[in-house]
């Protein structure tokens, strides 16, 4: 008798289970629409292609005008809005060094690492390159305007932006990775040496310091008025790391408008060493 009483409920359960889920129904509708709209594909592609080209031209022009306002009129800002690079400068100058910076430091970040970014500027790299890899990142800059910009435009759940002058307010704690990108040249030689000692004490035994800077121009003029010390060569940059780290890699990329230097420094393995687990030799 008990089995007979349970049978209708069992049948109802089976019937409900057999019904398609909301996701399955949605996928079915989308699949049907994709098939039925096939006749309109050429027209839609042409229409949206025109829209995309118009939008691209407008966005590029807008960011060019923003660049002229920010950097053509004094005083020039302490940080660069990297959306200008993304939407205008990359196309106008065909120079990929803005992307290089993010990628080369990303190579040094272990998945899920605890990271510190020094002199983070507008927060672009933290958001678009580092946040996908790190477990957490503390990004600091001495400029309140830069931090306000980063918090407004480049929020990520695992990135925290804070105001700090690393000459006197280096964040406490121990980190797996420290990124010092496009900022080491903003300090004097003595300040760089002192900051490097503080960086060393905040890295784990195998932690990696990574970043980017530039080589000084042949005419001796500084690339930006904010720069305190621009490096003369790879060796000139490496000399600041060698007293603190066993493994130091400095390499360069050269473009018509600039000569870039990238660095990895650690007592452990750095990218592209024989022991680097992400490569096959």
pLDDT along the chain (281 residues), means of 10: 48 52 90 92 97 98 98 95 97 92 97 98 98 98 98 98 98 98 98 98 98 96 95 98 98 95 98 94 80
In CATH, what is the architecture of 96-266?
Answer: 3-Layer(aba) Sandwich (3.40)
d(CA 125, CA 148): 15
- E-strand spans in the chain? 114-118, 136-141, 159-163, 175-181, 203-214, 247-255, 258-266
Residue corresponding to tokens 């580092």? 130
Q: Provide the 8-state DSSP code for 40.
A: G
Question: Nearest 5°: phi and psi at 92?
Answer: -65, -40
Query: How far apart, in Å, are the Cα atoms of 194 and each of 100, 191, 227?
Result: 27, 5, 17
Q: If DSSP codes are grouped into helix, strand and coil, which group holds residue 195?
A: helix
Q: In what order do the strands lie in the sheet with 175-181?
A: 159-163, 136-141, 114-118, 175-181, 203-214, 258-266, 247-255
Query: How far apart, in Å, are the Cα atoms of 213 and each of 100, 185, 242?
Result: 12, 6, 17
- E-strand spans in 81-215? 114-118, 136-141, 159-163, 175-181, 203-214
Query: How far apart, in Å, are the Cα atoms of 163 and each of 118, 128, 134?
Result: 10, 20, 20
For 153, residues 6+ apart whose C-beta sits below 8 A from its C-beta are 83, 122, 123
- Delimit the domains of the chain by residue range: 1-76, 96-266
Query: How far apart, in Å, are the Cα atoms of 78 and each of 31, 75, 111, 247?
Result: 51, 9, 31, 32
Token pair, residue 126, equals 């933290």
d(CA 75, CA 69): 10
Q: Are strands 247-255 and 258-266 parallel, antiparallel or unpaired?
A: antiparallel
Query: How far apart, in Å, are the Cα atoms of 106 and each of 130, 152, 201?
Result: 6, 23, 22
Residue corresponding to tokens 């704690």? 173
């Amino acid at each position: 008798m008990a089995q007979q009483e349970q049978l209708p409920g069992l049948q109802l359960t089976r019937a409900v289970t057999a019904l398609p889920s909301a996701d399955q129904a949605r996928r079915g509708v989308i699949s049907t629409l994709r098939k039925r709209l096939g006749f309109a594909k050429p027209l839609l592609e042409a229409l949206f292609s025109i829209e995309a080209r118009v939008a691209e031209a407008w966005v590029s022009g807008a960011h060019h005008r923003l660049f002229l306002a920010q950097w053509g009129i004094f005083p020039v800002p302490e940080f660069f809005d990297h959306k200008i690079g993304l939407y205008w400068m990359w196309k106008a100058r065909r120079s990929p060094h803005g992307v290089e910076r993010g990628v080369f430091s990303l190579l040094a970040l272990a998945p899920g690492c605890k990271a510190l970014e020094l002199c983070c500027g507008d927060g672009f790299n933290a958001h678009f390159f580092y946040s996908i890899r790190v477990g957490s990142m503390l990004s600091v800059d001495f400029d309140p305007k830069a931090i306000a910009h980063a918090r407004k435009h480049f929020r990520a759940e695992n990135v925290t932006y804070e105001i700090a002058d690393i000459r006197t307010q280096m964040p406490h704690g121990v980190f797996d990775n420290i990124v010092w990108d496009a900022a080491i040249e903003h300090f004097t030689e003595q300040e760089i040496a002192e900051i490097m000692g503080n960086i060393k004490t905040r890295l784990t035994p195998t932690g990696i310091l990574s970043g980017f800077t530039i080589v000084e121009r042949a005419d001796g003029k500084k690339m930006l008025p904010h720069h305190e010390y621009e490096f003369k060569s790879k060796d000139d940059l490496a000399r600041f790391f060698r007293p603190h780290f066993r493994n130091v890699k400095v390499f360069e990329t050269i473009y018509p408008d600039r000569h870039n230097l990238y660095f990895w420094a650690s007592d452990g393995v750095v990218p592209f060493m024989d022991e680097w687990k992400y490569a096959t030799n």
